[in-house]
Amino acid sequence: MLRFVARRLLQLIPILLGLSVLLFAWVRALPGGPAQALLGEKATPAAIEQIEAQLGLDRPLWEQYVQFLGRAVRLDFGASLQTGRPVLEEMARRFPATIELAIAALVIAVAVGIPLGYLAARRYGTWLDSVLVSGSLLGVTVPIFFLAYLLKLVFAVQLGWLPTAGRADPRAYAEHPTGFYVLDGIVTGNLPASWDALTHLILPAIALASIPLAVIVRMTRASVLNVLHEDYVRTAEAKGLLAGTVTRRHVLRNSMLPVTTVIGLQMGVLLAGAVLTETVFAFAGVGKFMADGIVARDFPTIQGFILVIAVSYVLINMIVDLLYGLLDPRVRVS
């Protein structure tokens, strides 16, 4: 097991290095170069020269890359052009919000997606199957931000069931020691605050969940269908095991393996989708900060965001692989 973990970690290195090269190239290719991107359009030639010297842009390319890597490893992306504060600080403050949202979306996607996918497989070829499959196809073709607007218009504005914007009711009192608002309420013994934060999460989380939900439905369906065709299921049936036992023992457990992988992969989709959803719901997470950064051409922020998301994406995938290994001994052996 340890060797498996070590090998997976080693495999990460070339990916991360490659990613840093890609980002380095991206920063170099920015209009006017990195100094201009840091200084903005007002930069005087003298200021650019000074910054270029400071950043070592007059040195050979490989030396610059090493320097860039050094800063990237320390997560030093410079100051955000929007706020003037270090990108790392800005991201750290907003990251809990996005993680909270992504988890909520994932919970919805899994809790709804797996049963629906299972249902579709079990009713393979019926109208219910067609409806579920078409619905899941629809889920990936509706632009997230459009869905988010519609949800807000109907459930927050017209029906007034849920709040339209933000992470918490501004009038309510709450302390935020961790930055995870739902958790904060529990930690500080302020359950109404947790509840309030939860209501603010629902709509953005549903919008964000649309794509993962659709993918999980179809993945579960395909996977369950595969398992249902496996010999051991037929054997179990032939042995006269009760239908319920077959389901629990074999079908669900075995079909969950590929679904786990997909769930991990969906984290990336969720983090990227947060850029759109958070903007619609004025949800103060990293996604919204990134979207504002695009408008303001805040390159240090875009750069930091991409690196952080990519690294967490790769790490999550690794963890999923490890989990996969735990669930399926065959993987560990190979």
Partner 1 sequence: MRVYGKVGRIVALTASVGLLAAATACSGATSTGDGESKTFVFGASDDPKTLDAAYVSDGESFRVIFQIYETLVALKPGTTEVVPSLATDWKVSDDGLTYTFNLVKDVKFHDGEPFDAKAVCYNFDRWYHFKGAQQNGDISYYWQTIFGGFATQDSESAPKTSRYDSCEATEDSVATLHLKQPSSALLSGLVLPAFAIASPKAIEEGGTDLAINGDSIAYTGGFGTKVVAGTGPFKFVSWDRGEKLVLAANETYREGKPALDRIIFRPIADATARMQALQAGEIDAYEGVAAADIQAVKNVGQVVERPAFNVGYVGMNQKVPLLKNHKIREAIAHALNRQALLSAAYPEGAEVANQFLPPSQWGYNNSIKGYEYDPEKAKQLVAESGEKDLKLEFWYPANVSRPYMPNPQAVYESFAADLEKVGFTIVPKTVPWTPDYLQSIQADGKGQLFLLGWSGDYADPDNFVGTFFRETTPQFNLTDPEIQGLLNKGLAETDQAARQKLYEEANQLIFDYIPGVPFVHNRPLLGLGKNVSGYQPSPVSLEYFKLVKIEG
Partner 2 sequence: MSIAEEAPPGEPTSPNGVDAVAAEQPPARGLRGEAMRRLLRNPMAMVGFALILVFVAVAVFAPWIAPYSPKDNSWLSQVRPGAYPGPSAEHWLGIDPLGRDVFSRLVHGARQSLLIGVVSLTIGATVGVFLGLLAGAFGGWVDVLVMRLVDIMLSVPGLLFAIAIAALLGQSLTSVMIAIAVVNVPIFARLLRGEMLGQRAADYVLAARSLGISRAGIVFRHVLPNSFTPVIVQGTLTLALAIVEAAGLAFLGLSGSDPSAPEWGRMLTDAQVALTSAPQLALYPGLAIVLAALGFTLVGEALREALDPKLRR
Q: Which residues bind partner 2 (CB under 8 A)?
A: 11, 14-15, 18-19, 22, 26, 29-31, 130, 133-134, 137-138, 140-146, 149, 153, 157, 211, 214-215, 218-219, 222-223, 225-226, 229, 258, 261-262, 264-266, 268-269, 271-273, 275-276, 279, 291, 294-295, 297, 299, 302, 305-306, 309-310, 313-314, 317, 320-321
The tokens describing 83, both together, are 């706020």
Alpha-carbon gap, residue 81 to 301, rounded angstroms? 8
Whether 269 and 153 have beta carbons less than 8 Å apart is answered as no
Note whether 163 binds partner 1 by CB under 8 A. yes
The tokens describing 10, both together, are 């080693």
Among partner 2, partner 1, none, the one that 312 touches (CB under a kind-dependent 5 to 8 A) is none
Among partner 2, partner 1, none, the one that 101 touches (CB under a kind-dependent 5 to 8 A) is none
Measured CA to CA in angstroms, residue 318 lies from 35, 56, 68, 106, 323 at distances of 35, 35, 25, 18, 9
DSSP bridge pairs for 86: 79
Binders in 45-64 for partner 1, by CB under 8 A: 47, 51
Among 43, 140, 323, 331, binds partner 1 (CB under 8 A): 43
Among 67, 75, 145, 176, binds partner 1 (CB under 8 A): 176
- Specify the residue, 54 or 130, whose C-beta has the smaller distance to partner 2: 130
Binders in 73-102 for partner 1, by CB under 8 A: 78-85, 93-94
Binders in 275-314 for partner 1, by CB under 8 A: 279-282, 284, 288-289, 292, 295-297
Among 12, 15, 39, 142, binds partner 1 (CB under 8 A): 39
Tell me how far, at minimum, the Cβ of 175 lies from partner 2, in Å. 33
DSSP code of 250?
I
DSSP bridge pairs for 79: 86
Tell me how far, at minimum, the Cβ of 87 lies from partner 2, in Å. 15
Whether 144 and 174 have beta carbons less than 8 Å apart is answered as no
Would you list the DSSP string of 175-242? --SSS-HHHHHHHTT-HHHHHHHHHHHHHHHHHHHHHHHHHHHHHHHHHHHHHHTSHHHHHHHHTT--
